[in-house]
A and B are shown apart, each in its own frame.
Chain A
Amino acid sequence: MLIDRVEAQKNPTKHTLVALVENKPGVLNRVASLMRRRNFNIESLAVGTTEDPTISRMTFVIDASKTNAALVERNLYKLVNVIDVQDVTDLPTVVRELALIKVRVTDAQHRGEIKQIADMFQSRVVDVAKESVIIEVTGEEQKVDSILNVLQDYGILEVVRTGRIAMTRG
């Protein structure tokens, strides 16, 4: 919890909003259309189902220095399919992101080094091929950024990141 607070303070302009929306066709389109027409700047958006199959959950990351997070929250509320919106930025929250990173390997020594790096970041090698490996990493964005930074020198072939998801503690 302490770590989360420290991280939040490092990025005071990043706001995390969680929205519960009806799981109906077109709802994501409504949300995206709202963001575009209001000229809201969204850094990341993660969508998935919840314990209730009729409800989806969206996690938004907003750079509050560019976009007023409170206005995003209130505009989301105006959408008929949006059930609840909460800005969890200042709440004790578990924040995670998942990334898959495909790294070039040229020889066995490289492969060993990459495995070591993955271990140090408590991440896993999930695919090994002749000339590449895929690493699966979960954590906060900073952790993903760090491992990407370290792996840069080996040659990153492909990256996919889910964007931030968040859940309040307790």
Chain B
Amino acid sequence: MKLTGAQVIWETILQHGTNVVFGYPGGAILPTYDALVDYQDRVHHVLVRHEENAALAADAYFRATGKVGVCMATSGPGATNLVTGLANAMMDSSAVVAITGQVASHLVGSDAFQETDVTGVTLPITKHNYLVMDVNELPQVMAEAFYIARSGRPGPVLVDICKDVQQKMVDYEPITSVQMRGYRAIKPHGRQNIPTLLQRAKELIDQARRPVILAGQGIKHGNAHEEFRAFVEKSGIPVATTLLGIGVLSEDHPLNLRMMGMHGEAYVNQAIANADLLIALGMRFDDRVTGNLKTYAKNARVIHVDIDAAEINKNVPADVGIVGSVKDILRELTPMIEKRSYPTWMEQINEWRADTKARDVLNVELPDDMLLAPHVMRAIWEETKGECTICTDVGQHQMWETQYFQHTRKNQLITSGGLGTMGFALPAAIGAKFGRPDDEVWAIAGDGGFQMSIPELATVMQENLNIKIAIINNNFLGMVRQWQELMHNHRYSAVEMWTPDFVKLAQAYGMCGMRATNLKEAREVIRRAREHDGPVLIEFVVEKETNVFPMIQPGKSLNEMTRRPIQPAALGGGMEFMKEKAH
């Protein structure tokens, strides 16, 4: 059938099961928006207030649904505004297809109005990108874009399409399978012999006495939850997760130790530092996970399974490195191993865990005039009974969320891991709400990150999205302040933040706004927010200079962690104890 390029774009999006597109129109993408009028009964376009948020929302939509997230922008400034969102999708391996308009093909290279070399700009932050100057290539390119974005290690793909290409006619038949000469979802590597590698992995597992599984997001992307759980339960090996791996196994599972790394609980990092075997599944040994590589898990053998061959031996040398999907590899490995448990090892870990629990800030009873962010996180968890999707921003509150919310559902936490993109929470909540319309969705942000996303409150209202927004306000860029306190000798530089009256701000957008300054109020507003049928913004005014502990300072080893101070039973002498550096 004969279609315009613009129609080919919409047809391909629908063909791949995506019926929500986050975007912002402009001159060079106008023909595609014109065609949207004829597709609006099948595809819903969300008009964001900044293109970056379109990309972030598409990223979260992918994480919430497993379907490719699509964002759209015009040429030049529209397209360059996508950059942060695409870099975020690249670092966190999210399948996103970005469609951008480009000036007419005869003008490319002439510095035409709103012309930018967008494929050049986005080359290092996309899995692949295309500039389409001939409409005859468009159907194939669109099919390839979706295939590349979703297959293997997922990632963002940008398609830059000249305005005239969107207008021209082409013969179109839906492309159901893509054959590409270079691209294979999983690249063969070193002509690896998988049976031999699995046998060696089995031997290492048999010999281990203090093993730990390091579970990453690859388990989610490969939809390997079932296989993973079977492997964990048969092997009896405790699991530490990465930030993005949270939710691969319910956190109430007895073998789930919870999050590792810079702000992972001390006992988790102690277990890793003392392990004699690490089984890394779909994770990439990010520096926030390992600390100092020279001293990282010195006595541990390493089995590393990743779909991306380039991750094997990149940061941590693997005794056994296997390139493949975690699902396929575990299907073969689990039957090979013996059913075991490690009572002595678990006893040791539980001893460390008891020490961690004794230090917990939740043991502190707060005075009536004070609220701490960890208590807010715990209150949200308790009030929702953990039955919600949470999108966080980046910073202290993000780490407190991981520590004080117990995640039981897969992909329950949607957060910016690798890039650490401030402003992520609200657009992500928008994307997640479209992906999971029946789910309760919370956006948790700090006062800093939220001020990067404020315009999206208008999107929430325009789309009438029932999202609960929690702003943890300490009038600081909290994590930066913490670093300045601990590593720059309390020399606070550009971290104090004036904030607007968030309640009035919510009201200005026509949204319900509430505030809490102590724990009783906090619980009350959370309850009222959940009862309210519509978007709510809550400002939690928290103690200003609380730090996130434990913490492994950059470049330090896992066993050089700054522990939580041991908390007194009641606050007594103010908050000073919170600030002291304990070891």
Q: Do A and B come from one complex?
A: yes
**Shortest 8 CB-CB contacts between residues of A and residues of B:** A74-B310, A74-B309, A77-B187, A80-B128, A83-B182, A80-B183, A75-B310, A37-B124
User: What 0/1 readout, one digit per residue, does chain A (7-29) give for beta carbons within 8 Å of chain B?
Assistant: 00000000000000110001001
Residue pair B310, A78 in contact (C-beta under 8 Å): yes
User: Which residues does chain A contribute within 8 Å of B309, judged by CB atoms?
Assistant: 74, 77
User: What 0/1 readout, one digit per residue, does chain A (30-63) give for beta carbons within 8 Å of chain B?
Assistant: 1001100100000000000000000000000000
Chain A, 57-105, CB within 8 A of any chain B CB: 68, 70-71, 74-75, 77-83
- Considering the complex, give the chain A residue whose CB is closest to the CB of B157: A80
- Considering the complex, give the chain A residue whose CB is closest to the CB of B187: A77
Does B494 lie at the interface of the complex (its beta carbon under 8 Å from any beta carbon of A)? no
How far apart sit A71 and B182, CA to CA, in the bound complex (Å)? 18
Q: Min CB distance, B134 to chain A, in Å?
A: 12
- Considering the complex, give the chain A residue whose CB is closest to the CB of B309: A74
Q: Min CB distance, A32 to chain B, in Å?
A: 10
Q: Min CB distance, A29 to chain B, in Å?
A: 7
B interface with A by C-beta (< 8 Å): 119-120, 123-124, 127-128, 148, 180-183, 187, 189-190, 308-310, 312-314
- Can you offer 22 A-B residue contacts whose CB atoms are under 8 A? A21-B182, A22-B182, A26-B119, A29-B120, A34-B124, A68-B313, A71-B310, A74-B189, A74-B312, A75-B310, A77-B189, A77-B310, A78-B308, A78-B310, A79-B182, A80-B128, A80-B148, A80-B180, A81-B182, A82-B182, A83-B181, A83-B182
User: Which residues does chain B contribute within 8 Å of A34, judged by CB atoms?
Assistant: 124
How far apart sit A108 and B212, CA to CA, in the bound complex (Å)? 78
Number of residues of chain A lying within 8 A (CB) of chain B: 20
User: Which residues does chain B contribute within 8 Å of A33, judged by CB atoms?
Assistant: 123-124
Pick the contact of A74 from B124, B182, B187 — CB < 8 Å?
B187
- Considering the complex, give the chain A residue whose CB is closest to the CB of B148: A80
Pick from A68, A77, A80, A81 the residue with the most CB of B within 10 Å.
A80
How far apart sit A74 and B187, CA to CA, in the bound complex (Å)? 8
User: Which residues does chain B contribute within 8 Å of A71, judged by CB atoms?
Assistant: 310, 313-314
The secondary structure that dominates the B interface is loop
How far apart sit A165 and B143, CA to CA, in the bound complex (Å)? 36
Pick the contact of B313 from A26, A70, A79 — CB < 8 Å?
A70
User: Which residues does chain B contribute within 8 Å of A68, judged by CB atoms?
Assistant: 313
Q: Min CB distance, A153 to chain B, in Å?
A: 46
Pick the contact of B187 from A26, A29, A78, A81 — CB < 8 Å?
A78
- Considering the complex, give the chain B residue whose CB is closest to the CB of A83: B182
How far apart sit A34 and B312, CA to CA, in the bound complex (Å)? 18
8 more A-B residue pairs beyond the given contacts A26-B119, A29-B123, A70-B190, with a C-beta to C-beta distance below 8 A: A34-B124, A70-B313, A74-B187, A74-B309, A74-B310, A80-B128, A80-B182, A82-B182
Q: Min CB distance, B221 to chain A, in Å?
A: 16
How far apart sit A30 and B130, CA to CA, in the bound complex (Å)? 12
- Considering the complex, give the chain B residue whose CB is closest to the CB of A27: B182
User: Which residues does chain A contribute within 8 Å of B189, judged by CB atoms?
Assistant: 74, 77
How far apart sit A81 and B312, CA to CA, in the bound complex (Å)? 22
Q: Min CB distance, A73 to chain B, in Å?
A: 8
User: Which residues does chain B contribute within 8 Å of A26, judged by CB atoms?
Assistant: 119
Pick from A30, A74, A82 the residue with the most CB of B within 10 Å.
A74
Q: Min CB distance, B417 to chain A, in Å?
A: 19
Pick from B127, B189, B310 the residue with the most CB of A within 10 Å.
B310
Q: Min CB distance, A111 to chain B, in Å?
A: 48
How far apart sit A11 and B118, CA to CA, in the bound complex (Å)? 41
Pick the contact of B181 from A22, A74, A78, A79 — CB < 8 Å?
A22
User: Which residues does chain A contribute within 8 Å of B187, judged by CB atoms?
Assistant: 74, 77-78
Q: Min CB distance, B187 to chain A, in Å?
A: 4
How far apart sit A121 and B189, CA to CA, in the bound complex (Å)? 41
- Considering the complex, give the chain A residue whose CB is closest to the CB of B189: A74
Q: Min CB distance, A37 to chain B, in Å?
A: 5
- Considering the complex, give the chain A residue whose CB is closest to the CB of B184: A77
How far apart sit A75 and B181, CA to CA, in the bound complex (Å)? 17
- Considering the complex, give the chain A residue whose CB is closest to the CB of B180: A80
User: Which residues does chain B contribute within 8 Å of A80, judged by CB atoms?
Assistant: 127-128, 148, 180, 182-183
- Considering the complex, give the chain A residue whose CB is closest to the CB of B312: A74
How far apart sit A26 and B123, CA to CA, in the bound complex (Å)? 10
How far apart sit A26 and B182, CA to CA, in the bound complex (Å)? 15
- Considering the complex, give the chain B residue whose CB is closest to the CB of A32: B123
User: Which residues does chain B contribute within 8 Å of A74, judged by CB atoms?
Assistant: 187, 189, 309-310, 312
Q: Min CB distance, A62 to chain B, in Å?
A: 15
- Considering the complex, give the chain B residue whose CB is closest to the CB of A82: B182
Q: Min CB distance, A58 to chain B, in Å?
A: 13
User: Which residues does chain B contribute within 8 Å of A81, judged by CB atoms?
Assistant: 182
